[in-house]
Structure 1
């Protein structure tokens, strides 16, 4: 009976691999799967005939499979396992007495002998030995160390922020995500414990949009933490105990047309002209998902009615089109030189009649408009006259700004014009400013310089991250005001922030063509000498947990259009890699301005992008999404776009891991020192498996003078600490929900250093939702 069942199983496997393998060969792919299918069928026939040659045939498959796997991927366990796991397991089954005995013979004396196991046993043992060896290696790991000595001390951190506090999203207006605290350090971080936990009460609702996320980094001023929640509540907590001081609900309502439901942070402001302790002498500005900016008294959460219209600034003013839910501010504005400088998020790929991406500066006390910079009309920054409107669909900035008030510049990371994947009819201004960083004069809003990182962007490669400012010390000791710009495509641009010129060189390289007839591509695209951009995908990079889903991914790889980075979207579907999530996203990188080093967490996840003619788009409401997954309608455009991660039939990435790393780079030399896998599949599978595969992450890291990098972000629910010098994993704490926020750190009046992490999950990557704010400290 075992022989019969095994024969049938081998026939089914052989037909599946053989049929799929022949399809793959016809597409120009590997012949191995067709060969494997044939060998499974041959083995099945020999088993049915009770021939010992079945073991020899299967041994040949094991040997060829082993040689083929090593030739393709070397000794990478996570790629060898799916190629050989099923084959070896079935090989072990064939070696059992239930199979060998019927394949054997009777001696003249009547004794039954099973088939000789050694022809199959030897290659199986060799394969298992090689698998064991591969588990001890990591061909993707880069090992090294960063400089430990301070290049300059004290460094310029940006603005007047006491060491023990955290006043901005990135601690200071320079956005370094660096704290000069060292009570928690590489020697004692292993002893870090949770000391308080607060739940906001703002939980994910059944009617929420898919992209409901908790991305806030709290601020710490005096003895108080200030934060916001996804549904736009503002909350103040006691920094020592985590106990609530006040809570304000903006009542921003629900709208299914919103693409995002999130809040990355609030803005703190102290009016130095106001009497200390007077009403609204200290303020918290709360952005909302219904396009308002609300001024609150930092002491009690009451509305500051002297600001704008009874305490509320309405950001939809001046828009030619104003579809509700299509425009809002997800990131905190910056407060500088008596101004609030505000950007806005525009729904990607919903319509050609969306709001403008205008950047505006308001009087921080009155809410009066001081200047507006519209990338569709960039030379006129005087306040828009009544009755006129900003440019529809001009490139917007949804991320966080940085400021050098000494130079008088604010640095704006810009996105693309909607629709992101269609470049027809873009104006010269749009072509100049899309997917760039633009430096604006704080006083007037006039452009000081612009540096573009993607030409004629057809891939949604917004500049997603807050630029990081620091003063680089050249080899001759000369300081240079520098700006670090992480990009979705994985490049790290290091520029002179006075002029936008390169400090670390970048160059133009040829880019693929082949856009749809109505569009075009840029013949070249820039790439930095400091880059985490992955090598182009190949068929051998296709992955799965078995031969079957790996074969399906290989077939799909050949069916899609793919010519490397910047393959344009197409009607047949294109692979976009790096994908829409980006190698780096809004979490940016952290920079130690004293050691002049960088710590980041690059993510690698391929996407697909398929253009859909407008006539073929189904009625509204069917298979329709915004953002990174599903059908994006692009109402009014000739094409919609169907996009999403490049996944196997089992809904796991088609490309092989690692998908996520932690890495360190020396910004003075532009060299990557180390690159290690980050995160496990603990929360990606039904079983809590702690395998350190290196998983995707979205969020950001921080650094401290104690030499520790803290980050959550990965799709397993942990807060981790790494040694920033060499990337060694030092500590981790289990989070009650997804940690897709950037942590922060501070000390209290009793000189106790805390690390605070928000855990609330991320809708589009499927981590567990929650409403937790957690404080950690040493015992």
Structure 2
């Protein structure tokens, strides 16, 4: 009976592999699965007849599979495991005495050859476990290239007063109490819970992405539902809270807050009401001014303390426009953009960038990429409006006060995947960084990173400003711009011209009728762009779902990065989460190196003619998944991660890394897998495959980089020089926020907010956690 059941299992596997393998061959794929399927059927037949030749045939399957797998992927354990796991287990089963001893003539020799084959498979597996072909090992320079570099700060080293610590966005702290030698001793200092938790009626993309700011002895944070809270920096005790009462709206695409803005009125008497302010952006398109001392509304600002950001929009349905990121404060102005719901409607709000008087809320200038030359405030009371559906900026800006420039990362126009009928200004400014004059709003330069963007490759990250030491030893004002497509651009921030070379590379052609694709796309000399996916890169938990991913790869349109959207479905890689996202990178301005978290996760998109889109409310999810309607456009789009039938990524791990690079040369010094599958699987498995993440890192003068972000709910510290992990702490929820560090009473703390991320499914929560040395 056991022989017959085993033969039946082998036959079933043979039928599946042979049938699907034949399908793969017709698509132009590998013959391995068809051949192996036939061999399984032969083994099943011989085993059913109790012939020892069954073990010879299975030995050929085992050895042939090993040779084929190594030929395809080398000694990458995670790739070999998917190919050989089922085959090796069955090989061991067939070698068991209760199978082997029931066979007829020749079973001793057949058993011996199968034993040798099994041992060979185990040796290969054990050896592969010691290898990592994807790892890049090296070291960043440790020399102090720049003495006393410009950090963009006019405040104490122990503070963290803007989103990226300063308006330079470096995410670098000059604190050195915590070092690579003692960071492993970090312990919890305090924990605070905001009480703002994800609700059943919340939108899917409810996320906690805030980076606290610290001024004096106080931390200031916001929450997804727009509470502003002040905490004692020593103890985490709440000082005050303000509830913006922004309510819930199912039409919102995001429910999040990345941070608040601090500004002190230089003309105000110390201690007077609203002498120092905290500005809170809300999910219902308001900007509220609060007294930093007590959280009370500063009623002299705008309309009773509240600025309405939807003013001047021709179309403004509730829930479609809001600011998820804090404005920058400079020269007495608040400069702010706004997030527009991706791919909902062509009648989207304008992507206008506006400067308001920080004291009164009066509009100072407006720069609209749809009408870029007219920056004088429009006459809203007289009925003037901004350009509908112009490219917007939902991320954080950077500022160089000495140059008088604010640097704005721009996104795309709705719909992201259809470029039919875009205006000349849209083509010029979308998916770029533009430098605007702080005083007038006029654009001084623009550098575009995707031409005629059809892939939602918004520039997602705050630009990072630092001075790079040139070949002549003189400092060059530089800007570092991380992008979704994996390129990191290093520009002269005075003019936008490249410091590290930018080359134009041929791009895939063949857009849908009425559209076009750019013949070339830019690539930076410093790039973490992925290699073009091949069939051998397909993955699965087993050989069966890996085979289905191979078939799916051939069924989609894919010719590498920038493959145009299509009706049959296109693989978009890097995907919509990007190689880098709003978490940006952290830069050490002394050593002139960067630390980042490149992520690799392919997506798919499929255009759907407007007359075939189902009624509103069906199959609609967050912006990166499900149906995006594009009301008013000729096509909607179905989007989502490129997953196997078992719901795991179709491309092989690693999916997430930590990496370090030299910004002067563009050389990538190291790249290591980051994170485990502990929170991606039903069992808490600690396998370090390198998992996706979203969030950002920070660097300290102590040579330590800190990062949460990964989907396995850990907060980690790394050696900036080597990228090696030095410490980790288990988080009570997803850590998809960027940490920060500060000192109070001479003691250094590191803080991260853990509240989860709706789009990637990490555990929600409401935690603010501080760590310090014993």
TM-score interval for Structure 1 and Structure 2 normalised by the shorter chain:
over 0.9
Structure 2 residue aligned with 1:462: 458
2:256 pairs with 1:262? yes
**For 2:620 and 2:522, how far apart are their aligned partners in 1?**
34
Structure 1 residue aligned with 2:376: 382
Structure 2, unmatched stretches of 5+, are none
2:114 pairs with 1:123? no
**For 1:335 and 1:624, how far apart are their aligned partners in 2?**
37
Structure 1, unmatched stretches of 5+, are 107-112
Q: Secondary structure at the match of 1:485?
A: strand
Give per-residue Cα distances to partners, 1:386-434, cap 9 Å, x unaligned.
Answer: 3111001100000000000000000000000000001000000000000
Structure 1 residue aligned with 2:95: 95
Structure 1 residue aligned with 2:762: 767
**For 1:559 and 1:198, how far apart are their aligned partners in 2?**
50
**For 1:159 and 1:406, how far apart are their aligned partners in 2?**
12
Alignment of 1:43-54 (within 5 A): 43-54=43-54
2:500 pairs with 1:497? no
Q: Secondary structure at the match of 2:101?
A: helix
Structure 2 residue aligned with 1:33: 33
| TM-score in terms of structure 2 length | 0.99
Structure 2 residue aligned with 1:596: 592
Q: Secondary structure at the match of 1:508?
A: strand
Give per-residue Cα distances to partners, 1:213-257, cap 9 Å, x unaligned.
Answer: 000000000000000000010000000100100111100000000
Give per-residue Cα distances to partners, 1:460-518, cap 9 Å, x unaligned.
Answer: 00000000000011122111000000000000100000000000001101000010011
**For 1:159 and 1:171, how far apart are their aligned partners in 2?**
8
Structure 1 residue aligned with 2:55: 55
Structure 2 residue aligned with 1:192: 186
Structure 1 residue aligned with 2:218: 224
Give per-residue Cα distances to partners, 1:304-355, cap 9 Å, x unaligned.
Answer: 0000000000000000000110000000000000100010000000001110
Give per-residue Cα distances to partners, 1:533-576, cap 9 Å, x unaligned.
Answer: 01100000000010100000000000000000000100000000
2:10 pairs with 1:10? yes
Q: Secondary structure at the match of 1:659?
A: coil
752, 766, 775: which one aligns with 2:747: 752
**For 1:36 and 1:247, how far apart are their aligned partners in 2?**
65
| TM-score in terms of structure 1 length | 0.99
**For 2:177 and 2:63, how far apart are their aligned partners in 1?**
56
Q: Secondary structure at the match of 1:212?
A: coil
Structure 2 residue aligned with 1:570: 566
Alignment of 1:167-186 (within 5 A): 167-186=161-180
2:328 pairs with 1:334? yes
Alignment of 1:694-709 (within 5 A): 694-709=690-705
**For 1:158 and 1:533, how far apart are their aligned partners in 2?**
30
Give per-residue Cα distances to partners, 1:609-642, cap 9 Å, x unaligned.
Answer: 1000011101111111241000000011110000
Structure 2 residue aligned with 1:110: none
CA contact (8 A) 1:161 1:172 kept: no
Structure 2 residue aligned with 1:445: 441
TM-fit CA distance, 1:63: 1.1
Structure 1 residue aligned with 2:629: 633
193, 209, 212: which one aligns with 2:206: 212
CA contact (8 A) 2:739 2:752 kept: yes
**For 1:29 and 1:104, how far apart are their aligned partners in 2?**
38
CA contact (8 A) 1:469 1:483 kept: yes
Structure 2 residue aligned with 1:516: 512
CA contact (8 A) 2:315 2:388 kept: yes
2:673 pairs with 1:677? yes
**For 1:271 and 1:368, how far apart are their aligned partners in 2?**
15
Alignment of 1:602-617 (within 5 A): 602-617=598-613
Structure 1 residue aligned with 2:69: 69
279, 299, 310: which one aligns with 2:293: 299
**For 1:354 and 1:56, how far apart are their aligned partners in 2?**
66
CA contact (8 A) 1:434 1:457 kept: yes
Aligned residue pairs: how many? 772
Q: Secondary structure at the match of 1:527?
A: strand
2:655 pairs with 1:656? no
TM-fit CA distance, 1:105: 5.0
2:144 pairs with 1:150? yes
Alignment of 1:335-354 (within 5 A): 335-354=329-348
**For 1:764 and 1:149, how far apart are their aligned partners in 2?**
40
2:314 pairs with 1:317? no
Q: Secondary structure at the match of 2:374?
A: coil
Q: Secondary structure at the match of 1:305?
A: coil
TM-fit CA distance, 1:114: 6.2
TM-fit CA distance, 1:115: 6.8
Give per-residue Cα distances to partners, 1:66-115, cap 9 Å, x unaligned.
Answer: 11000000000000001001000000000011111210359xxxxxx767
**For 2:164 and 2:56, how far apart are their aligned partners in 1?**
64
CA contact (8 A) 2:286 2:306 kept: yes
Give per-residue Cα distances to partners, 1:18-48, cap 9 Å, x unaligned.
Answer: 1100000000000001111111111100011
Give per-residue Cα distances to partners, 1:41-61, cap 9 Å, x unaligned.
Answer: 111000111100000010110
**For 1:414 and 1:623, how far apart are their aligned partners in 2?**
29
**For 2:510 and 2:431, how far apart are their aligned partners in 1?**
21
CA contact (8 A) 1:102 1:114 kept: no
CA contact (8 A) 2:279 2:287 kept: yes
**For 1:432 and 1:538, how far apart are their aligned partners in 2?**
33
Q: Secondary structure at the match of 2:102?
A: helix
398, 404, 417: which one aligns with 1:421: 417
CA contact (8 A) 2:204 2:622 kept: no
Q: Secondary structure at the match of 2:495?
A: coil
TM-fit CA distance, 1:119: 1.4
Structure 2 residue aligned with 1:83: 83
Structure 2 residue aligned with 1:778: 773
CA contact (8 A) 2:24 2:30 kept: yes
Structure 2 residue aligned with 1:559: 555
**For 1:476 and 1:664, how far apart are their aligned partners in 2?**
24
226, 230, 234: which one aligns with 1:236: 230
**For 1:160 and 1:315, how far apart are their aligned partners in 2?**
29
CA contact (8 A) 1:250 1:288 kept: yes
**For 1:521 and 1:70, how far apart are their aligned partners in 2?**
38
**For 1:606 and 1:687, how far apart are their aligned partners in 2?**
25
Q: Secondary structure at the match of 1:602?
A: coil
Q: Secondary structure at the match of 2:355?
A: strand
391, 394, 406: which one aligns with 1:398: 394
